[in-house]
Amino acid sequence: MSAKFNRTLAVDIGNSRISCGLFLDDELSDTYNYATDEPKVAASHLRSLSSKFEGALISISSVVPSAGQALIDLWQPPKKNLFAVSAKNQNMLSGLYETIGSDRIANAAAAYRNYTADKKAAIVIDFGTATTLTAVSSDGSFLGGMITLGLSKIFYSLHRQTAQLPELSVIEWDNYASPLAFDTARAIERGCVIGHIGLVKYWVERAKENLPAQTAVIATGGLAPLIAPAADVFDAVDVTLTLKGIKILAEEAMDPRDQD
């Protein structure tokens, strides 16, 4: 069981954005988001936050090494209270491979801690720049996963790799009484969204064939509220799951007596 921390700042550096969560007494008090390619903005705000909450545990997950280093260099958080999520640094999960993304480690940790009390395993599907599946057992063993391009990047790539197709994005779900469109924009929208929903449903179906019967399925990531209800395979939608896992991993590995 992790030690008790009164204040933890969790930072998730992804391919598109930097998400931060301030936890006070185990409750997520505030969240903040910045563009990954603007680390100066993030560093300035985080510097003021860490100064205001002096002695707070700071836990960082980064899947963009250059952005992570730039943020640390600009921010200069106290090293004494700093934890970097990685397969090597954590002591909570077993069976992780060395190059697994730190965001997926965090997802597995949060799912293990929060969703396996009455289950044998949990699946997390994270809808971000990439769409990922990560599975973990109720004893904290990593059970494998899958990765593909995220829905927003599918739209972007379809536009960039063709001469005439427009770039689109979907911000709300339409049930599409008919999936058959009669113009190019709607054909792209319906093809990409319905295709992603079908992919997720098949992923879960195939994964469950190799997992215990009692397996929870959790959705997280920015597009989770859009895709999860339409896919109809999820037990929970938890958009802050990654931040929770970043916090949990640091608290499991660090001793609060080392805080300032």
Residues involved in catalysis: 103
DSSP states of 153-207: HHHHHHHHTSSSPPP----S----SS---SSHHHHHHHHHHHHHHHHHHHHHHHH
Return the closest-CA partner of residue 248 out of 158, 116, 98: 116
Burial class (CB in 10 A: 0-12, 13-18, 19+), 258: exposed
CB atoms within 10 A of CB 17: 17
Of 85, 146, 137, 125, the closest CA to residue 238 belongs to: 125
Listed in sequence order, the residues at least 6 apart from 228 whose beta carbon sits closer than 8 Å to its beta carbon are 219, 234, 237
- What Å distances lie between residue 155 and 118, 150, 198, 246, CA to CA? 38, 9, 16, 29
CB atoms under 10 Å from CB of 45, counted, come to 15
